[in-house]
Amino acid sequence: MTDRSSPLTVLIVDDHELVRLGVRHVLGERARFVEASSLRQALEAVAASSFDLILLDLSLGDEFSLTALPRLREAAPNARIVVLTSLAEDLYAERALRAGADGYVMKSALGNNLLQAVDTVLAGQVYVSAELGSAMLRRMTGRPGGDSRPELSARETEVLRLIASGKSTREIAEALNRSVKTIETHKQALKTKLGADSPSKLVRLAVSWFGETA
């Protein structure tokens, strides 16, 4: 990690204590840490203090923090935000970057990749894996091998994730604090974008998108 004259101030937002301990171990003594296990705690922390770096899990218990990223970005405009999560990079990384993140790291590659990501974003650059970076460039240039998945909004992605987890329309509405009618509208949009001609096919497609990460 880049040498600094003063400790790096880091907010770790993760609901698993072992992950928070792992981050502390990787970043070591060059950082001062504040921990949060929910979005509410994270927003309270950034309101009370300034941070150089925020490490954010996208899945915080029942919370899905992708849709809250713009709010966190607005509350901490000078912080670098790195998503540190087990949710698949090819499904979420670009959406996270558009929502305000500066980097995306899979928890399965926590060690050296996290150090590289921290140095990269503190230097004002964006960090993703080499594989995703190549796929993004192929897609931008129209070359074979780019992602052919349809573009979904953050809310549609969240609804699709909950469909994959087996939740009903009413349960999704309750989880997202939205009306059943609104969720039905999202599901209809998903059917159109994904080419699903029945509710059962939409479920199968949702599971294929998210698999065990849902």
User: Who has greater pLDDT, 66 or 82?
Assistant: 82
Question: Where are the domains positioned within the chain?
Answer: 8-139, 154-213
pLDDT at 50: 94
State pTM to two decimals. 0.71
77 CB neighbour count, 10 Å cutoff: 9
- Residue (of 46, 50, 88) closest to 68 by Cα position: 46
Among 56-65, 86-95, 148-157, 165-174, name the one with the lowest average pLDDT.
148-157
71 CB neighbour count, 10 Å cutoff: 16
Question: Residue 54 pLDDT more than 90?
Answer: yes
> Does 154-213 carry CATH code 3.40.140.10?
no
CATH fold, domain 8-139, is Rossmann fold (3.40.50)
81 CB neighbour count, 10 Å cutoff: 24
pLDDT at 133: 65
Average pLDDT over every residue of 14-23: 92
Residues 19-43 pLDDT 10s: 999 999 999 888 999 999 999 999 9
Whole-number Å distance between alpha carbons of 145 and 86? 23
Average pLDDT over every residue of 68-93: 89
Which of 32-36, 109-113, 155-159, 172-176 is the most confident on average?
A: 32-36
pLDDT at 199: 86
Question: Residue 148 pLDDT more than 60?
Answer: no
